[in-house]
Amino acid sequence: MPELLEIKGLDARYGDFQALYGVDMTVSAGEVVAVIGANGAGKTTLMRSISGLIRNGADMVRYRGNAIGALRADQVAAQGVALVPEGRLLFQSLSVEENLIIGGQMGRKGPWNLRRLYDLFPILEERRNVPATALSGGQQQMVAIGRALMSNPDLLMMDEISLGLAPVIIRQIYEALPGIVGEGLTAIVVEQDIAKALSVSSRVICLQEGRVSLSGKSGDVTRDAISRAYFGV
């Protein structure tokens, strides 16, 4: 049985600038993996590479054994990979509900639909017809997460979903996480808050200047190891 996600020797570039160097990472079905690292370490680049927003060598990313590294983002999405992008990036011309519906437009089968999402985030049902960007930051993040869930993904990636939100809202969103990940969903969580990252994940990898500087079980890594992996001292 191949791993759900297998990344081997991933190099990613923006034009002439290389942002990732030989990144290796595996994610098994059902686990939550945290990706941590300082600003500019390459976390978002890694998410964009997996989701197909940056296209790399085909063999660098394998999903269920298939080489997907060179596919377009819509082709990767169709296989059941969803990304909650950094900065939410909702569609401003679409209402809250339309943002959610478009997340589900591929018609993949699974537990998530509008009804269940509104049960998870009741405030979104109340505000379903307002333009998505008229919501508060926390509510917009709920829409971004909901939009990804609507595609009924097998692998859900969340890039700094707590960025710029009040602690209360962050707690609220993370409290919803176990319920989301519970049903066999696999998740990759990018998080700046290390304590948070370790508490929600079973494994963690740390990036530093485009390279993996640490990888291990979330329960086993020491503070020392992390600060070394973070800053390279």
233 binds, among other proteins, ligand ATP, Mg ion, none (CB under 5 to 8 A by kind): none
Q: Residue 114 interacts with other proteins (CB under 8 A)? A: no
With contact defined as beta carbons under 8 Å apart, do 53 and 159 qualify? no
**C-beta of residue 188 within 8 angstroms of C-beta of residue 47:** yes
> Which amino acid, one-letter code, is at 58?
A
φ and ψ of 31, to 5 deg:
-100, 165
Distance from C-alpha of 67 to C-alpha of 48, rounded to nearest angstrom: 16
34, containing H or E segment:
strand 32-37
Tokens at 228, concatenated: 């070394």
Q: Which does 153 bind (CB under 5 to 8 A by kind): ligand ATP, Mg ion, other proteins, none?
A: none
- Select from 18, 93, 113, 199 the one that contacts other proteins (CB under 8 A): 93
Among 28, 30, 38, 53, binds other proteins (CB under 8 A): 53
How many Å apart are CA 227 and CA 208, to the nearest integer? 11
- Classify burial at 45, counting beta carbons within 10 Å of its beta carbon; exposed 0-12, middle 13-18, buried 19 or more: buried
Q: Which of 5, 37, 127, 204 binds ligand ATP (CB under 6 A)?
A: 37
Strand partners, 125: none
By the rule CB under 8 A, 175 interacts with other proteins: no
Q: Which does 14 bind (CB under 5 to 8 A by kind): ligand ATP, Mg ion, other proteins, none?
A: ligand ATP
In the complex with Mg ion, which residue's Cβ is closer, 90 or 158? 158
86 binds Mg ion (CB under 5 A): yes
Stretch of 40-48, 61-69, 72-80, 219-227 lying at the interface with ligand ATP (CB under 6 A): 40-48
Max Cα-Cα span within the chain = 51
64-71: long-range contacts (C-beta < 8 A, 24 or more apart)?
Answer: 64/2, 64/4, 65/2, 65/6, 69/10
Q: Rule CB under 5 A: is residue 44 a binding residue for Mg ion?
A: yes
| Nearer to ligand ATP (CB atom), residue 85 or residue 146 | 85
Stretch that binds ligand ATP, among 39-47, 75-83, 140-148, 168-176 (CB under 6 A): 39-47
The answer to whether 222 and 232 have CB atoms below 8 angstroms apart is no
Q: How far is the CB of 16 from ligand ATP (least distance, A)?
A: 9
Would you count residue 91 as binding other proteins (CB under 8 A)? yes
Site residues, Mg ion (CB under 5 A) = 43-44, 86
Site residues, ligand ATP (CB under 6 A) = 14, 17, 19, 37, 39-45, 86
Site residues, other proteins (CB under 8 A) = 51-53, 72-74, 77-78, 82-83, 85, 89, 91-94, 98, 101-103, 105-106, 147, 151
